[in-house]
Amino acid sequence: MPDIPTRRPAGFVAIGVFFYFGAIMAAYAAVTLFWPGTVLDRLWMLNRPAHIGLAALGRMMALPFTVLAVVLLLAGIGWFRQKYWGWLLGVSVIATNLAADLIHAALGDWLKSGVGVVIAGFLLFYITRPALRNYFLMTDDVSDS
């Protein structure tokens, strides 16, 4: 039987908030891509090249961001409800992000992607540690997930 922690692990709340923040940002991107030209577009000044590239692809780009927002929202809900499926979804989201950053780094975007690789790599390492993983087993029967 795994050693199941009785206290909430350090960083638990921060990671859950990270999933919710990601959901909000993905929903924001979806809305601004589906309805371009509103006052909401101003926040894109933080990443103008991405906005130009995505907007050029048209309103259809709102769909992947909507899906991402839903996935991140579900990850946050499952995370805070301490569900094993929430942990699995969180691991999957961060692993996918890490893979994308590695691909972008290989394509030559070293600085931005390198930072992403370090952050996603650290997060993935941290949330897959037995102490954190086992915290999700404390109240959640894996067979019920």
Structure tokens at 29: 């991107």
What residue spans of the chain are helical by DSSP H? Answer: 12-34, 48-56, 62-80, 84-106, 110-127, 130-135
pLDDT at 52: 74
**Per-residue tens of pLDDT for the chain, all 145 residues:** 555 556 888 899 999 999 999 999 999 989 988 988 777 777 777 777 777 777 778 788 889 999 999 999 999 999 999 999 999 999 999 999 999 999 989 888 888 888 999 999 999 999 999 989 989 887 655 555 4
* Cα 24 from chain centroid (whole Å): 11
Rounded CA gap, 131 and 3, in Å? 8
pLDDT at 72: 98
pLDDT at 37: 76
For the chain, domain boundaries: 10-77, 81-145
Angle between helices 62-80 and 84-106 (to 10 degrees): 140
Model confidence, pTM = 0.83
